[in-house]
A and B are shown apart, each in its own frame.
Chain A
């Protein structure tokens, strides 16, 4: 029996006749929740978001209300809000749906969030590869201004807000919030060192700045619609609400689906929702939360600690199919829920090839600021490339692991972890495939000299 989707954010996505113009949005109750929110005290909205337990949907799963509360109470500088629409984590394609199909939902979520945090100037940092998305948002902003949902003295109040769209230019690192801020300041997107540069304290132009993912900001609207306590009843404790899961790779029905967090297992997602593995093949591996997440092997068992009704903890051994899709269990299973991008691979796939593909991505996208990442990501790519081209040396497996082990924890931003986790986990989970590639030392001169 398939688990039912619970569509809050995707309520109108792909609904026949639903269009992106403001009239359609208003016909469907649009901006009503913002109108109500503008009559509340700012602190009350923040308290609702805190009570909701909403965790950021960009990848890290950090508490949204907590993030907001880091703005120093004594602050006198302007506060900025940036919507992170730089969706770049391979395997993730949820924000695209919201931006292209329901842009006003994002604007309404932003309006409420900006009002709550006394923001009067906000930016949507959208990835450069979404040129039409940028135009759709710009048009939506114009429409919202005409209806006085944005601009000066919104709906007769003394609150004013401007939102501008800022286009990126193809760099993955701009999804990292401090890299994004540097980029928005017109610089190379080199992430900043934390401390002291926590965005909520020293963000855009050294002012307190809130950076939230597209999906997270949309959730704020739905929290205000039903109240934080009611919202917290969705999902599971500490993993509240709904979240969008994107499935790609070797399944029959890839796509985007919205479920209550933790109410669906990986097995239900793959076999019931996505109609199983394509071509009648067998499941081999899953990357559960965007390409940076550690890979899970189909025949693994995972030891998970579970809280019982009486509060006691028990340890349970579960299979890959039984892992609920929530932040905490996915972390306990040794990976992460990340951005919700689930990449599925069947038994015909060569894991070394898959890792070589991932490594090429990270080598291309390292910003180059920290030596371990800049050099390490490139060397990991070179080694996996020669493994897939028949030019590997016997010592390459050890070398590859050694390089990966020396990146994570030694860089300014989490890209170091993001690029080394795939290599570490692919080797740990599929050692035999890597050993096969390095068993016979072949002398492929052009490749040897290239590396």
Chain B
């Protein structure tokens, strides 16, 4: 088992307290907390969360495989999510995805996450990020960026990733 920071454990208890009627409701919040803390949902994580909530591990695993945001493998330190859906596509999201690929010198199927060999970046096409009026948009980790329509803007965003 990994070492747990007291802050992490406190957040877990707080999350469970939000669902007085049904502990199982804390499954998604706990998965989010685990992924934020450890980077991905390991087998250990699945078992730990299940035990914490009095569930079977399969009841947690089936969530990890259903919800697109949860991952079972480590991602890069910077997770770049480019919106792929229609309005962003009309605004040039394919070009944006291509530009990221060239700039990061990565290759791969646009239908899945593409990892840079040094583990620093993961580039992924995702579905609608709900900012269709400022297409094309992307997120780098939790930070959201609008109208990323030039190489200069990409360079500026990547310069902040250290």
7 smallest beta-carbon distances between A and B, as pairs = A186-B27, A248-B132, A169-B67, A170-B68, A186-B24, A248-B87, A170-B69
Q: Which of B26, B89, B132 contacts A357 (CB 8 A)?
A: B89
CB neighbors of A among B55-79 (8 A): 59, 62-63, 66-70
Q: Does B85 contact A (CB under 8 A)?
A: yes
How many residue pairs, one in A and one in B, have C-beta atoms under 8 Å apart? 141
CA distance A95 to B132 in the complex (A): 12
Find the B residue at minimum CB distance from A174: B67
- B21 proximity list for chain A (CB < 8 A): 78, 121, 205
- B32 proximity list for chain A (CB < 8 A): 128, 167, 169
Interface centre among B21, B128, B132 (most CB of A within 10 A): B132
CB neighbors of B among A180-224 (8 A): 183-189, 205
**Residues A96 and B22 in contact in the complex (CB < 8 Å), given A132-B142, A167-B32, A169-B31:** no
Tell me if B86 and A358 are in contact (CB < 8 A). Answer: yes
Tell me if B67 and A93 are in contact (CB < 8 A). Answer: no
- A132 proximity list for chain B (CB < 8 A): 142, 144
Q: Does B115 contact A (CB under 8 A)?
A: no
- A91 proximity list for chain B (CB < 8 A): 86-87, 132
Interface centre among B18, B91, B139 (most CB of A within 10 A): B18
Q: Which of B69, B87, B144 contacts A249 (CB 8 A)?
A: B87
CB neighbors of B among A365-408 (8 A): 365, 367
Find the B residue at minimum CB distance from A164: B18
Query: How many B residues have CB within 8 A of the partner chain?
Result: 42
- A188 proximity list for chain B (CB < 8 A): 62-63, 66
Interface 0/1 of A343-367, CB less than 8 Å to B: 1010001000010011011001101
Tell me if B66 and A345 are in contact (CB < 8 A). Answer: no
**Residues A96 and B24 in contact in the complex (CB < 8 Å), given A91-B87, A188-B63, A349-B90:** no
Q: Which of A55-63, A250-258, A432-440 contacts B (4 or more CB under 8 A)?
A: A250-258
Interface 0/1 of B14-25, CB less than 8 Å to A: 000010111011
Interface residues of A (CB under 8 A from B): 78, 87-93, 95-96, 121, 127-132, 164, 166-172, 183-189, 205, 246-250, 254-256, 287, 291, 341, 343, 345, 349, 354, 357-358, 360-361, 364-365, 367
Q: Does B114 contact A (CB under 8 A)?
A: no
Interface residues of B (CB under 8 A from A): 18, 20-22, 24-29, 31-32, 53, 59, 62-63, 66-70, 81, 84-87, 89-91, 126-135, 139, 142, 144
Find the B residue at minimum CB distance from A169: B67
